[in-house]
Amino acid sequence: MSRLQLIPKYPREKQVMMNLNGDEAIAYAAKQSYVDVVAAYPITPQTIIVEKYSEFVANGEVHTEFVPVESEHSAMSACVGAAAAGARAFTATSSQGLALMVEILYIASGLRLPIVLAVVNRALSAPINIHNDHSDAYLMRDSGWIMLFAENVQEAYDTTIQAFKIAEHPEVQLPASVHIDGFFLSHTLENIYTLPDEAVYEFLGGPRKIPKVRVDYFDEEVDYVLNPARPLSFGSLALYDYYFEMKIPQLIAINKALDVIKQVNEEWYELTGRRYGNGLVDPYMVEDADIVLVAMGSGAGTIRSVVKKYRERGLKIGLLRVRSYRPFPHSDIRNLLRNTKLVAVMDRAIGPGQYGALYLDIASTLYHERSKPILVDYVYGLGGRDLSPDMVSAMINQLVKDLERGYIPEEERLRFLGVRG
C-alpha cells in the first residue's frame, strides 16, 4: 500500500482490554456514552444489559436516570418522552419485547428522536424459543430506524458508541438500533479493547446536542425539544394534507445516514485503529470472486473461516457482510457484486409466503444490472440452531455444482440449511 499506515489517536496500548460478553460490552459502551435516561425491561437474552446498567447506577458510576419500566412498550415510550425532553436515551430488548415495542418504534422515528436501542436478536414465538435468529429484526425493518448488525463482541461495543453519533448527526436525527445475535454474542466472553471514558466523551462531543428547527410562530430558529422557553407541540395530527410531506424528510434523513455511517466508521478508525469495511458493508475477498455469500451478524465469522479455507484451495469465493441493514447500501453492494457469477444470500429468518428479507433486498439491488448473477436464498439457524463450518462447506460444494450447471431452477431458489426431514 502506498498510503502510510495510520497511527490511531488511541493505539492498542492506550486502550483497556476487558473480558466481556456482548451484553456487558453494550452496557459498558452505553455507560461511557453519557446516557441521561435508560428505560428498560428484562427479557432473555438481553437481560444482562439491564442488570449491568443497574449496577452502574447503583454504584453511582453514572448520572443516568434508570427507569425500570413495566413493559417494553413503556420502555420505548419513556425513551420517546426522555428524548423529546432533550435527554440522550437508551434501551435494549429482544424478540417478543421488540414486537411489543414496535408501535412506538414508528413514533420514535416519526418524531425524529435519536434514541439508541440494543436488540439482542432472538426468534419470535410460537413455539417460544429464547435463542437467536433474525425474525425480530426483520419485524422492525420498515419502522424507520437505522439498523446496524455486529459480528462480534468488539464490534458490538464499537457500534453502540458509533450509533449515538450517527443517530444524533444534525442531518440524520433518527433512532438507531444495534443488533447482536442472542447467546452467540450476548453470552459469549471475548477479550475486547475499550476506550478510556474521556475518549468516548470527546468522540461523541459531550452530552446530546439539540437540533434547531424553524417554526412559523417564532422569528428565530428554536430548539427541537420540549422547552418552556419556546414551546412546541410534538406528535400532532397530520392527515392526508400533510402526512405524506412529513414522511419524505424522514426518507431523506435515513438515506443521508449512508454517508454518516461511513464517515463515523472512518472517524472511529482514526481514533482506535478499528473499522468494519466502509461501515455499511464489510467485504471479504469479494473483488475477484465468482461465488459470494451474503450474511449478517455472528454467522459471518464462521462463514469467513470456511471461505478462507476454500480460497486456499483455489476456489474464487468471497463473503459480503451487510453491516447496515437499514439504510440498505444498494450502490456499495451493486459495485461489489457486479462481476460475481453466483450470489447466495443467507437469511437467519423465514418470510412465510416469500423469500427471506435479505434475499429480497439483494435481489432488488441486482435487478438493474446488465448481467445478473445467479441468486439463491439459504435460510439457516432458526431458533438458535448452530451454523457449523461443515454446513457452510456443504453449502459451498452445492453452489460450485450450481455454478457449473449455470442455473438454479425456480423450485430450488429457497433452500434450508441444517433442517431435519
- CA nearest to 286, candidates 333, 318, 321, 316: 318
20 Ramachandran zone, left/alpha/beta (phi>0; psi -120 to 50): beta
- Map the footprint of other proteins across residues 240-299, applying CB under 8 A: 242, 246
Bridge partner list, 377 = 345, 414
Least CB distance to other proteins at residue 56 (A): 14
Q: Which is nearer to other proteins, 19 or 71 (by Cβ)? A: 71
Residue 414 engages other proteins in binding (rule: CB under 8 A): no
With contacts defined by CB under 8 A, name the span among 48-56, 62-70, 146-154, 372-380 that binds other proteins: 62-70
Identify the residue among 18, 57, 85, 363 touching other proteins (CB under 8 A): 85
- Map the footprint of other proteins across residues 377-406, applying CB under 8 A: none
Interface mask toward other proteins for 170-209; x: CB under 8 A: -------------------------------------x--
Counting every residue, how long is the chain? 421
User: Which class for 127: exposed (0-12), middle (13-18), buried (19 or more C-beta within 10 A)?
Assistant: exposed
How many Cβ atoms from other residues are within 10 Å of residue 240's Cβ? 6
Residue 236 engages other proteins in binding (rule: CB under 8 A): yes
- CA nearest to 36, candidates 72, 59, 67: 67
Bridge partner list, 66 = 38
Identify the residue among 198, 217, 406, 421 touching other proteins (CB under 8 A): 217
Interface mask toward other proteins for 25-54; x: CB under 8 A: -----------xx-x---------------
Identify the residue among 55, 61, 103, 287 touching other proteins (CB under 8 A): 103
Size of the site for other proteins (CB under 8 A): 48
- CA nearest to 375, candidates 390, 392, 361, 394: 361
- What is the C-alpha to C-alpha distance for residues 118 and 177, in angstroms, rounded to an integer? 6
Angle at 177 between CA 172 and CA 182, to 5 degrees: 165
Residues that bind other proteins (CB under 8 A): 36-37, 39, 63-65, 67-71, 73-75, 77-87, 89, 103-104, 107, 207, 216-217, 226-239, 242, 246
